[in-house]
Amino acid sequence: MALATQSETTTPSLYLALELSKNTWKLGFAISRVGRVRIRDVEARDRQALLAEVELAKRHFGLSDEAPVHSCYEAGRDGFWIHRFLCAQGIENVIVDPASIEQSRRQRNAKTDRLDVKKLVRLVARHCEGEDVLRVVRVPPLEAEVERLLPRRLSTLKRRRTQICNRIRAELFLHGVDLNPRKGSCAKQDFLEELEKARQWDDTPLPAGVVYMVKLHWEHYCLIERQIKELSQRRKRPRKCVLAGGPDEGEAGRGSTSPTPVGRSEGP
């Protein structure tokens, strides 16, 4: 059966595509898969300007204030917050996998935000009419998104710890010294004591410049060790406490602060 157009069977809708960049969001509005596309720019993350353009587009196309709005944007670094905002405003939004957007051989070398937003708004119109032209990204619950932060950060920190450890050992190997910063305690500074005692192949002390650089790496190593320990402890806490971000009962009883937030700086 042929697909029916929205003018024949449904309430006229407004279609919106967002082309997101760091400083500017380009908006494309249309009321069907064909015809002219209204294009407007708003400052990135200006939510009120976005909603104002939606209302202006409804009036431009002669739609009622109650006309439904269907929107989309490509998955990227902005994540899911824009989707949640649009849905909270009653706008039916989907996030699109960029790899699923069809490419024309004739126009494959032509790529601008203006062309992209025109193509995207027509694709979302076809998607809403039932065509399989877009692959929609599943949006996880906010709680699940937050829960993934800790294991991801821990994995990143552990890789960084290994890299720094290997860098320290490599610099010392160049002078005939084999010291492992992972042996001993950062708090007791066992590694620094061994570094001061270390001798080169000719039984002379390590050059002052080498000792200085190794100490810099070791300080970075100890910082990451502390972050790993704090995040590991935070991960063991009850799920609700982790999501809320507050201290657990034991920490509260000792009067200490909550573990370091995930976004804390990790050094150079």
Taking all residues of the chain, what is their mean pLDDT, rounded to a whole number? Answer: 85
Phi, psi of 78 (to 5 degrees): -75, -10
Q: What is the mean pLDDT of residues 207-226?
A: 95
With tokens 């431009």, the residue in question is: 60
Provide the total of helices (H) and of strands (E) in the chain, helices listed first: 10, 5
Spatial separation of the C-alpha atoms in residues 20 and 75, rounded to whole Å: 10
CA distances from 197 to 11, 97, 183, 212 (A): 81, 57, 15, 14
pLDDT of residue 249: 39
pLDDT of residue 130: 93
- The answer to whether residue 257 scores a pLDDT higher than 50 is no
Quick one: pLDDT band at residue 134, thresholds 50, 70, 90? very high
Q: Are 184 and 227 in contact (CB under 8 A)?
A: no
CA dihedral of 102, 103, 104, 105, whole degrees rounded to 10 = -130
pLDDT of residue 69: 98
- Which runs of E-coded beta strand occur in 7-126? 14-20, 24-30, 38-43, 69-74, 92-96
pLDDT of residue 93: 98
Spatial separation of the C-alpha atoms in residues 100 and 86, rounded to whole Å: 22
Cα angle 209, 214, 220 (rounded to 5 degrees) comes to 135
pLDDT of residue 186: 78
Topology annotation, domain 11-139: Nucleotidyltransferase; domain 5 (3.30.420)
pLDDT in tens, 145-204: 888 888 999 999 999 999 999 999 999 999 999 999 888 777 778 899 999 999 998 999
Report for 18-22, 141-145, 177-181: range of highest mean pLDDT: 18-22
Q: Provide the residue ranges of all domains of the chain, joining segments of one domain with +.
A: 11-139, 143-254
Q: What is the CA radius of gyration of the chain?
A: 28
pLDDT of residue 241: 57
Two tokens, residue 230: 């704090």
pLDDT of residue 104: 61
Spatial separation of the C-alpha atoms in residues 93 and 30, rounded to whole Å: 15
98: DSSP letter: G
Query: Where is average pLDDT lowest: 26-30, 88-92, 190-194, 236-240?
Result: 236-240
Q: Facing residues of 224 across strands?
A: none
pLDDT of residue 74: 96
Spatial separation of the C-alpha atoms in residues 7 and 116, rounded to whole Å: 26
pLDDT of residue 265: 39
Report for 9-18, 105-114, 183-192, 193-202: range of highest mean pLDDT: 193-202
pLDDT of residue 262: 36
Spatial separation of the C-alpha atoms in residues 180 and 194, rounded to whole Å: 10
- The answer to whether residue 94 scores a pLDDT higher than 90 is yes
pLDDT in tens, 155-164: 999 999 999 9
Spatial separation of the C-alpha atoms in residues 225 and 245, rounded to whole Å: 21
pTM over 0.85, yes/no:
no
For 90, the 3-state DSSP assignment is coil
**Strand pairing category for 14-20 and 24-30:** antiparallel
With tokens 């960049």, the residue in question is: 21
**Strand pairing category for 69-74 and 38-43:** unpaired
pLDDT of residue 255: 39
- The answer to whether residue 55 scores a pLDDT higher than 60 is yes
- The answer to whether residue 95 scores a pLDDT higher than 50 is yes
- The answer to whether residue 53 scores a pLDDT higher than 70 is yes
Q: What is the mean pLDDT of residues 123-136?
A: 94
Spatial separation of the C-alpha atoms in residues 52 and 16, rounded to whole Å: 13
